[in-house]
Amino acid sequence: RKLTVSLDHCTYPIYIGAGLLSQLPVYLDEVGIVPDRKLMVISDTQVAPLYGERILASLKQQGYQVDMAVVPAGESSKNLQQFEYLIGECLRFGLDRQSVILALGGGVVGDLAGFVAAAYMRGIPFVQIPTTLLAHDSSVGGKVGVNHALGKNVIGAFHQPAMVLYDVDTLKTLPTRELISGFAEVIKHGLIWDADFVQWLEKNSAELLALRPEKMIEAIYRGCEVKVAIVSQDERESGLRAILNYGHTIGHALEAVSGYIHYTHGEAIAIGMVGAARLSAKVLGTDESVVRKTKELLEAFQLPTQYDGERFPEDRLLLAMKRDKKVRNDEYAFVLTRKIGQVEVVRGIAEEEIRAALQE
Ligand code: NAD
Ligand code: ZN
């Protein structure tokens, strides 16, 4: 299936299907990336042995000059050291301004390789080849970057890919916990924008967890569709794009307080979305059924909906939220829900209300 992203300055396709990787040269050709252009595959130590070697061989066979650079798997590679290493690899292989970077992996590789592409010779094209479910979110929209010791994603750029090629077959090797974590973002896309999609997810949870290809393609297609709709209205996050942070205010705080190891990102935002729904009931008078439905849907995908309050006291969570850039004079801003499929940014939420929502 194909989706097209149309922005003011560029247009690019997102292909979602099974068995697409074996057709990579055909898809590259379709966006004008022909064998006279040098390619650099960037991947990580987990993904490279699974899919990298295969891709390299098939591209070479088609006459591409192509090399691969590999970074250690995991979030800790999303830093300036790896960035510098990769720039060095690009120089060593002789990439020029016509060359193309292929980001093969999850969100870490996508963000890092995308940032290399944004900076190398002031910007060269890159292709996203996501291999995690979460990456249906990160590979679309053009936000790329790395972490600094003092903050996540604080060094970055907007750099749109030339294409996104999503082969759902790669998800078969993904660890179950990573897969489930990815569903949290899929569900988020439904909850903020598309009530029909939420209903569809409720009905198909078992088949999705079993990775039925046609269902996975549909889920990723519809999740990307939401992201594309939002990004094309607000590429640079001046307004609307903020709603993609639904569940992330509490989620990020929980990740920070738990040292980024206890919860995966998806687990943290699952808990965050339930918290945001409860807060919506208090602040906006949203129907309690929204809280219940949100919980049930997340539970159907085996995601947590409540954090360990003994271990992570709410005082520490609030402190972490305060460090969030959205807080001004003790006033918190949250993405809240009116009903399933509709959210908005609400400012000036008092600390007591958040406390009450967290305590429930
Ligand atoms: P990840 O890239 O670290 O992948 C998770 C783990 O799975 C890694 O160990 C990886 O090696 C492994 N893996 C990946 N694909 C595999 C496969 N097919 N088979 C087996 N193992 C595989 O993490 P992620 O969850 O994909 O992405 C998280 C990152 O995405 C974070 O850094 C986050 O900031 C970023 N992100 C970016 C955006 C954006 O808009 N740019 C949006 C959301 C998240
Ligand atoms: Zn997220």
What is the pTM (predicted TM-score) of this model? 0.94
**Could you tell me which of 348, 281, 358 has the C-alpha nearest to residue 318?**
358
The verdict on the CB of residue 227 being under 6 Å from ligand 1 is: no
The answer for residues whose C-beta is within 8 angstroms of residue 336's C-beta and 6 or more apart is 276, 279, 280, 283, 284, 286, 343, 344, 345, 346
247 marked among binding-site residues: no
pLDDT digits (tens, 9 = 90+) for 278-327: 999 999 999 999 999 999 999 999 999 998 888 888 888 988 888 765 56
pLDDT level of residue 130 (50, 70, 90 thresholds):
very high
* 111 and 76 Cβ atoms separated by less than 8 Å: no
Beta pairing partners, 71? 44
Q: 81 C-alpha to center of ligand 2: Å?
A: 24
> How high is the pLDDT of residue 56?
96
> How high is the pLDDT of residue 245?
94
The verdict on the CB of residue 151 being under 6 Å from ligand 1 is: no
User: In the predicted model, what is the mean pLDDT of residues 16-33?
Assistant: 96
d(CA 219, CA 136): 10
> How high is the pLDDT of residue 226?
96
pLDDT level of residue 95 (50, 70, 90 thresholds):
very high
d(CA 225, CA 282): 31
**Could you tell me which of 183, 72, 70, 82 has the C-alpha nearest to residue 132?**
183
d(CA 77, CA 109): 8
Q: Among the listed ranges 95-104, 215-224, 329-338, which one has the minimum average pLDDT value?
A: 329-338
| 1 is annotated as an active-site residue | no
| 37 is annotated as an active-site residue | no
Residue 176 CA: distances (Å) to CA of 11, 269, 275: 34, 17, 25
| 265 is annotated as an active-site residue | yes
The verdict on the CB of residue 235 being under 6 Å from ligand 1 is: no
pLDDT level of residue 152 (50, 70, 90 thresholds):
confident
Helix (H) or strand (E) holding 135: helix 135-138
The verdict on the CB of residue 245 being under 6 Å from ligand 1 is: no
Sign of CA pseudo-dihedral 213, 214, 217, 223? negative
Q: Choose, from 89, 185, 218, 225, the residue flagged as catalytic.
A: 185
| 185 is annotated as an active-site residue | yes
pLDDT digits (tens, 9 = 90+) for 54-85: 999 999 999 999 999 999 999 999 999 999 99
Helix (H) or strand (E) holding 106: none
Q: CATH code for 196-359?
A: 1.20.1090.10
pLDDT level of residue 359 (50, 70, 90 thresholds):
confident
Ligand 1 atom 43: residue of nearest CA = 138
| CATH topology for the 2-173 domain | Rossmann fold (3.40.50)
| 316 is annotated as an active-site residue | no
The verdict on the CB of residue 4 being under 6 Å from ligand 1 is: no
| 122 is annotated as an active-site residue | yes
* 99 and 73 Cβ atoms separated by less than 8 Å: no
> How high is the pLDDT of residue 328?
66
Query: What whole-number percentage of the chain has pLDDT above 70?
Result: 98
Ligand 1 atom 32: residue of nearest CA = 108
* 194 and 222 Cβ atoms separated by less than 8 Å: yes
111 marked among binding-site residues: yes
User: In the predicted model, what is the mean pLDDT of residues 9-30?
Assistant: 96
Q: 269 C-alpha to center of ligand 2: Å?
A: 7
> How high is the pLDDT of residue 324?
66
> How high is the pLDDT of residue 150?
84
* 155 and 126 Cβ atoms separated by less than 8 Å: no
**Could you tell me which of 133, 137, 144, 70 has the C-alpha nearest to residue 111?**
144
**How much is the mean pLDDT over the chain?**
94
152 marked among binding-site residues: yes
pLDDT level of residue 330 (50, 70, 90 thresholds):
low
Ligand nearest to the CA of 133: 1
User: In the predicted model, what is the mean pLDDT of residues 265-290?
Assistant: 96
User: In the predicted model, what is the mean pLDDT of residues 6-20?
Assistant: 94
* 177 and 26 Cβ atoms separated by less than 8 Å: no
DSSP character string of 13-24:
EEEEESS-GGGH
The verdict on the CB of residue 170 being under 6 Å from ligand 1 is: yes
Helix (H) or strand (E) holding 164: strand 163-167
The verdict on the CB of residue 129 being under 6 Å from ligand 1 is: no
Ligand 1 atom 27: residue of nearest CA = 107
User: In the predicted model, what is the mean pLDDT of residues 155-182?
Assistant: 97
Q: Choose, from 159, 215, 227, 293, the residue flagged as catalytic.
A: 227
Ligand 1 atom 44: residue of nearest CA = 138
Query: In terms of DSSP bridges, do strands 342-349 and 332-339 run parallel, antiparallel, or are they unpaired?
Result: antiparallel
The verdict on the CB of residue 105 being under 6 Å from ligand 1 is: yes
Annotate 37-93 with three-state secondary structure.
CCEEEEEECCHHHHHHHHHHHHHHHCCCCEEEEEECCCHHHCCHHHHHHHHHHHHHH
* Domain locations along the chain: 2-173, 196-359
DSSP character string of 280-343:
HHHHT---HHHHHHHHHHHHHTT---S--TTTS-HHHHHHHHHTSTT-BTTBEEEEEEEETTEE
